[in-house]
């Protein structure tokens, strides 16, 4: 008998128990909670005068810098009196993740209902911590599209790949149904200028007005969906007495350490939180719509509304200029054909994505790289973000003046380009500017996974002032912080810097990393990227 025979027999004996262990998802009881009335809350009273001055319009404020983006979230959590609803793809158990959760616990202690919906695979959170937080009487945590077996998550995911391949990539924060934050940021140090190794250039928008109930409807749709499973249903018999206090004590201890204190002191110097208390923010005003995927996006039996379908008419109506910011950019043959057609119509198409040295996902870069040449041949202006943080004082996405001018009344491409000691920059903003008039900001990347598989959300905002400023900042940003791509006489891609330096291969990337990208490009994985 071969030595492999016993191993094969063992595998056959073990497989059925493993398959059974992956099991089915718990059956969630129907929601019976009554809607919460928030019209008389502090946030409602604060926003009412502004909304009265701009009837039927949405107020939008770009959160361009990481610390500002965190401060606004903390301020909204502190101001909320009735309800906080949160939906995220990733929530790290790091400094800013714990700081945010500590502020949410403070709100829950005041009697605020806190609902948190996390993507199970994206967040990859510790169930014990989630259970402890969920033990608070005013906190409920649900996992979207979770793996059934909590102890064998990776195996469970592999054995149920068709279902778990769809992820909830949405990112929303709603306070008292009166103000919302939507955009590209997850919750974690790299999104809020707290990671010394890398900082994401990212973008959120704070909104008040008619678009807020639209975002709320999206949250409620996901929260009530059958795949939004309360974490406690996975552990019905697990004792939780005292666990919440242990988590609180752990949070207090971390927030007292040296790195946390230095970051908190830096936060205290920022002015946004004080200005938010009176909502003295330079809002842009315009008509807005929340565009979002239905949670049944992949169900062939459901007629699900798709974000891309709702955004398509705006893209098709573009006549002069289209600016795209997408960190994970894989246009596919259809996207190249579309952009080529726009160029033939006289539309100027500009795209900013990550360079190989800047990207955090080399596999996605492998999917993108093969489209550079056909895009350039079609006339598309292609730019890739450099990995080097800009020099001090140049933080506002080309706002022309240092950090303050970008944040106070800036337009939105400056987010996170104001690096404070991070050793590497990476683009994470997702934005589209159509004819310098319509602006879409959200979680949507221009890649197959965002368009076909994951669920996404964003805000489509009509404003000539914002559109013009974002388009101008795009031009200044790529001139300063990105490589300009072109084709040489032999049809090979080249990278140029503003000072005249020229590269004939991926700048500032190792030969090993370039080899990995080439190897990844051989794999038939584009539909999954």
pLDDT at 24: 84
Q: Which residue has the higher pLDDT, 395 or 503?
A: 503
Q: Which residue has the higher pLDDT, 151 or 404?
A: 151
Q: Find the catalytic residue in 169, 225, 297, 365.
A: 169
246-263 residue pLDDT tens: 999 999 998 898 889 989
- What sign does the dihedral 374-376-381-385 (CA atoms) show? positive
pLDDT at 274: 66
Query: At residue 415, does pLDDT exceed 70?
Result: no
Q: What are phi and psi of 410, to 5 degrees?
A: -70, 180
Distance (Å, rounded) from C-alpha 327 to C-alpha 413? 13
330-355 residue pLDDT tens: 999 999 999 999 999 999 999 999 99
Q: Average pLDDT for residues 456-478, to the nearest whole number?
A: 96
Helix 95-109 to helix 243-254 angle (10° resolution) is 130
Read off the pTM.
0.90
- What sign does the dihedral 272-277-283-289 (CA atoms) show? positive
Query: At residue 405, does pLDDT exceed 50?
Result: no
Q: Average pLDDT for residues 447-466, to the nearest whole number?
A: 96
pLDDT at 494: 96
Q: What are phi and psi of 216, to 5 degrees?
A: -60, -40
pLDDT at 529: 76
Q: How many CB atoms lie within 10 A of CB 20?
A: 9
Q: Find the catalytic residue in 65, 82, 103, 171.
A: 171
Distance (Å, rounded) from C-alpha 61 to C-alpha 208? 9
Q: Could you confirm whether 488 is annotated as catalytic?
A: no
60-78 residue pLDDT tens: 999 999 999 999 999 999 9
Q: Average pLDDT for residues 477-501, to the nearest whole number?
A: 93
**Start-to-end C-alpha separation, the chain:** 44
Q: For 144-148, 403-407, 442-446, 498-502, which range has the lowest pLDDT when averaged over its residues? A: 403-407
pLDDT at 22: 57
pLDDT at 423: 61
What H or E segment, with its residue span, contains residue 13?
helix 4-22
Note whether 435 and 319 are within 8 A (CB): yes
Burial track 406-431 (b if 16+ CB lie within 10 A, e otherwise): bbeebbbbbbbbbbbebebbbbbbbb
- What sign does the dihedral 94-245-123-461 (CA atoms) show? negative
In three-state form (DSSP H/G/I as H, E/B as E, the rest C), the secondary structure along 254-268 is HCCCHHHHHHHHHHH
Q: Could you confirm whether 169 is annotated as catalytic?
A: yes
Domains of the chain: 31-277 (3.30.870.10), 290-528 (3.30.870.10)
Three-class DSSP category at 398: coil
Q: How many CB atoms lie within 10 A of CB 137?
A: 10
Q: Across the chain, what does the average pLDDT equal?
A: 87
Query: At residue 30, does pLDDT exceed 70?
Result: yes
Query: At residue 417, does pLDDT exceed 50?
Result: no
Q: How are beta strands 179-183 and 424-427 bridged, if at all?
A: unpaired
Q: Average pLDDT for residues 430-434, to the nearest whole number?
A: 97
In three-state form (DSSP H/G/I as H, E/B as E, the rest C), the secondary structure along 120-160 is HHHHCCCHHHHHHHHCCCCEEEEEECCCCCCCCHHHHHHHC
Q: Could you confirm whether 475 is annotated as catalytic?
A: no
Which range of 23-37, 411-425, 452-466 scores highest in mean pLDDT? It is 452-466
pLDDT at 390: 59
Q: Find the catalytic residue in 225, 297, 350, 430.
A: 430
Query: At residue 272, does pLDDT exceed 80?
Result: no
Q: How many CB atoms lie within 10 A of CB 469?
A: 22
Which range of 147-156, 273-282, 292-301 scores highest in mean pLDDT? It is 292-301
Q: Collect all residues with Cβ–Cβ distance below 8 Å to 64 and sequence separation of at least 6.
A: 203, 396, 397, 406, 407, 410, 412, 413, 414, 415, 416
Distance (Å, rounded) from C-alpha 467 to C-alpha 413? 11
198-243 residue pLDDT tens: 889 999 999 999 999 999 999 999 999 999 999 999 999 999 999 9
Percent of the residues in the chain that have a pLDDT greater than 70, as a whole number: 88
Q: Could you confirm whether 246 is annotated as catalytic?
A: no
Note whether 457 and 442 are within 8 A (CB): yes
- Enumerate long-range contacts of 258-262, CB under 8 Å, 24 or more apart: 259/95, 260/95, 260/99
Q: Average pLDDT for residues 138-155, to the nearest whole number?
A: 89
Query: At residue 364, does pLDDT exceed 80?
Result: yes
Q: Which residue has the higher pLDDT, 412 or 229?
A: 229
pLDDT at 11: 43
Q: For 1-15, 158-172, 197-211, which range has the lowest pLDDT when averaged over its residues? A: 1-15
User: Residue 411: pLDDT band by 50, 70, 90 thresholds?
Assistant: low
Query: At residue 383, does pLDDT exceed 60?
Result: yes
- What sign does the dihedral 368-424-89-122 (CA atoms) show? positive
Distance (Å, rounded) from C-alpha 266 to C-alpha 394? 18
pLDDT at 236: 92
Q: Could you confirm whether 297 is annotated as catalytic?
A: no
User: Which among 361, 453, 380 is positioned nearest to 162, based on CA atoms?
Assistant: 453
Q: Could you confirm whether 68 is annotated as catalytic?
A: no
Q: Find the catalytic residue in 120, 134, 160, 176.
A: 176
Query: At residue 413, does pLDDT exceed 80?
Result: no
Distance (Å, rounded) from C-alpha 440 to C-alpha 446? 12
pLDDT at 107: 97
Q: Collect all residues with Cβ–Cβ distance below 8 Å to 187 and sequence separation of at least 6.
A: 88, 90, 91, 92, 96, 97, 100
User: Residue 412: pLDDT band by 50, 70, 90 thresholds?
Assistant: low
309-325 residue pLDDT tens: 999 999 999 999 999 99
Percent of the residues in the chain that have a pLDDT greater than 90, as a whole number: 70
Residue with tokens 């608070």: 136
């Amino acid at each position: 008998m071969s030595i492999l025979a016993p191993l094969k027999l063992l595998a056959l004996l073990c497989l059925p128990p493993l398959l059974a262990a992956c099991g089915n998802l718990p059956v969630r009881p129907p929601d019976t909670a009554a809607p919460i009335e928030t019209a008389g809350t502090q946030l409602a009273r604060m926003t009412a005068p502004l909304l009265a001055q701009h009837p039927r319009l949405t107020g939008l404020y770009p959160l361009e810098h990481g610390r500002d983006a965190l401060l606004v979230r903390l301020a909204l959590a502190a101001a909320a009196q009735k309800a906080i609803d949160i939906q995220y793809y990733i929530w790290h158990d790091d400094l800013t993740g714990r700081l945010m959760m500590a502020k949410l616990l403070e709100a829950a202690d005041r009697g605020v209902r806190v609902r948190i919906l996390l993507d199970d695979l994206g967040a990859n959170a510790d169930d014990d911590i989630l259970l402890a937080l969920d033990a608070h009487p005013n906190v409920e945590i649900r996992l979207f599209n979770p793996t059934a077996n909590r102890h064998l998550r990776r195996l469970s995911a592999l054995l149920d790949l068709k279902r778990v391949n769809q992820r909830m990539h949405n990112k929303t924060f709603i306070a008292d149904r009166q103000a919302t934050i939507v955009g590209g940021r997850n919750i974690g140090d790299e999104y809020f200028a707290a990671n010394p190794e890398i900082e994401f250039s990212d973008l959120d928008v704070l909104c008040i007005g008619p678009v807020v109930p639209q975002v709320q409807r999206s949250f409620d749709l996901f929260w009530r969906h059958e795949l939004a499973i309360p974490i406690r249903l996975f552990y019905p018999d697990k004792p939780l007495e005292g666990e919440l206090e242990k988590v609180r004590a752990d949070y207090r201890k971390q927030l007292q350490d040296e790195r946390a204190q230095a970051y908190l002191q830096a936060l205290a110097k920022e002015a946004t939180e004080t200005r938010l208390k009176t909502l003295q923010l330079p809002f842009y005003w315009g008509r807005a719509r929340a565009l979002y995927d239905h949670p049944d996006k992949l169900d062939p039996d459901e007629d699900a509304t798709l974000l891309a379908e709702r955004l398509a008419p705006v893209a098709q109506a573009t006549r002069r200029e289209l600016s795209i910011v997408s960190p994970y950019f894989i246009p596919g043959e259809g996207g190249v054909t579309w952009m080529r057609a726009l160029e033939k119509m006289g539309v100027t198409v500009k795209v900013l994505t990550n360079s190989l040295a800047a990207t955090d996902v080399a596999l996605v870069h492998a999917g993108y790289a093969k489209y550079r040449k056909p895009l350039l041949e079609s006339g598309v202006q292609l730019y890739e973000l450099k990995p080097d943080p800009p020099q001090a004082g140049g933080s506002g996405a080309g706002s022309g003046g240092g950090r303050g001018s970008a944040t106070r009344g800036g337009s939105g491409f400056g987010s996170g380009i104001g690096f404070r000691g991070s050793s590497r920059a990476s683009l994470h903003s997702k934005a589209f500017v159509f004819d310098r008039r319509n602006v879409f900001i959200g979680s949507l990347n221009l890649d197959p996974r965002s368009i076909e598989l994951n669920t996404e959300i964003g805000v489509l905002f009509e404003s000539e002032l914002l559109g013009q400023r974002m388009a101008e900042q795009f031009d200044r940003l790529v001139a300063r912080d990105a490589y300009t791509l072109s084709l040489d006489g032999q049809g090979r891609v080249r990278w140029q810097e503003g000072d005249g330096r020229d590269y004939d291969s991926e700048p500032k990337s190792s030969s090993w990393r370039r080899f990995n990208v080439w190897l990844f490009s051989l794999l038939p994985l584009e539909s999954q990227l």
